[in-house]
Amino acid sequence: MTLGLVFALMTAAAVFAVLWPLSRRVPAVGGAGEIAVYRDQLDEIARDRSAGLIGVAEADAARVEVSRRLIAAAETAVATPAGGSPLSRRRAVAVATLVLLPVGAFALYLVLGQPQLPGEPLSARLAEIHRNSPIEELVAKAEQRLARNPKDVRGYEVLAPVYLRLGRFADAVNACRKVIALAGENADRQADLGIALTAAAGGIVTAEAKTAFARALALDSKELKARFFTGVAARQDGNTAQAAAIWRDMLAQVPPTGTWADNLHQALAGLREPAAAAAIPDNSAAAAATPMSAQAQSATIQSMVARLAGRLKQNGHDADGWQRLLRAYMVLGEHNKALAAAADARKALAGDPDRLRRVEDVIKSLGLEG
């Protein structure tokens, strides 16, 4: 109640400040006072003529001009109503505005506003807006801004991890390359590029990804992401001892609790307990081939790929499964099977545009559009 009274007084003060000049009396420039001035001027012209100070022609010209002004002033005085002077009208307008403006605004607020709602910080309202906006819509807006300003490094830095989360790996690789091209390289940016390249290859640390991780370590030998994925690459190459050495060295340097410690413990446990599912890598950091002979490893991968393909024939609505299958075929060098799987995925997901778009992104990133 007190706050409402304060606001009401502030509103009244503001209205008074604006309307006060309307209530002030303006010195008269017309009416009876002006008529008297012009009459005095006519008398003065007559006196000057009688005294010989001005000629006949000059006196007549001056008399005509003053008479014209006198007639105009007299007409203005006659046109003004007897009971309604301009001052009284201005005061009436000022009073009406002073009363009606705040009353009308308050009535409109009672109809449209919600005074019973508690206050909410701006940060909370903005967060709610973002929660209600689909991530795809936010990404599309960011892409539109980048199209208008292609040198916006911060925009690419923000989009790169979002692309990874959405499974748009080719776009993530492109965004990482843009950041390096525009802002220069450092260990963190090279490591992010390596991760994007690994994700685009279905979790396989390719030769290009290894180069990015090696470059990151050359710039900063303690870069955690590059060191971790160097261990992943060693594991995929069958060098489990090197992978274990890298991860144990990291484990001795990171905090004993936290995400990094958990990931490293999980990766080391995977070396001791081979899991067949790792033969078809997903996008997690620990996705890598299991420690076994090359022949056994190849046979396991082929078996897992075949089982995944069979499952997708029974249930073709698994977009993540189609993405893993396509990448697995490409890693195995079975391009024709990848093309056939791309066609099957399009047919199975034809009625689900969102899932189909995710698979289409992978098809495009793998060069299987044909």
Is the predicted pLDDT of residue 225 greater than 90, yes or no? Answer: yes
> In whole angstroms, what separates CA 75 from the centre of its chain?
66
Distance CA 76, CA 209 (A): 92
Position with higher pLDDT, 24 vs 329 = 329
The pLDDT value recorded for residue 295 is 46
Is the predicted pLDDT of residue 288 greater than 50, yes or no? Answer: no
Distance CA 338, CA 328 (A): 8
Mean pLDDT lowest among 19-28, 141-150, 186-195, 254-263: 19-28
Mean pLDDT across the chain, nearest whole number? 76
**Confidence category of residue 164, pLDDT binned at 50, 70, 90:** confident
Position with higher pLDDT, 194 vs 91 = 194
What tokens does 176 get? 């990482």
The pLDDT value recorded for residue 284 is 42
Position with higher pLDDT, 255 vs 320 = 255
Span 6-17, pLDDT tens digits: 666 777 677 667
Position with higher pLDDT, 347 vs 301 = 347
**Confidence category of residue 53, pLDDT binned at 50, 70, 90:** confident
Position with higher pLDDT, 345 vs 301 = 345
